[in-house]
Structure formats: structure tokens, C-alpha cells
Amino acid sequence: MKTYKLTAFEANGEKILDESFQAENDDSAKKLGEKLLSEKNLFEHTHRCTSPSGKLLLFHS
């Protein structure tokens, strides 16, 4: 399992989510990141999900 990082921001740049989670691979992490954002009603906020190697898996601005 690898550790991925999910971050979401308000329009003014304030960080409102800064969470790490475990996933087997990048595809699983992308799906889990989308699910977490939806559950927290943050999918429409600016967000990003990055892999342990720094790869950008999700991004919305």
C-alpha cells in the first residue's frame, strides 16, 4: 500500500482539507480521492490528489 495526499482549498486559498490515505495503486487512489471529496462535499472546490512520487492524480481549480 502507498500513501497518497488529498488537499482541498477555499477560493481565497485557505486549506480546508489536508488528508493522507492508503491505496494499492494510482487508479485506486484516484477513485478513493474522488469518493472522499464527494462525501465531504468538496468536489467542486479547488483540490488535488498526489501520489508518493509527486504525480498529480486529481486536480480541479
Q: Helices H, strands E: what count in the chain?
A: 1, 4
Residue 4, judged by CB atoms within 10 A of its CB (0-12, 13-18, 19+), counts as buried
The one-character DSSP state at 13 is S
What is the Cα–Cα distance from 49 to 47, expressed in whole angstroms?
7
**Tens digit of pLDDT at every position of the chain (61 positions):** 999 999 999 999 999 999 999 999 999 999 999 999 999 999 999 999 999 999 999 999 9
- The amino acid sitting at 57 is L
Entry pTM: 0.91
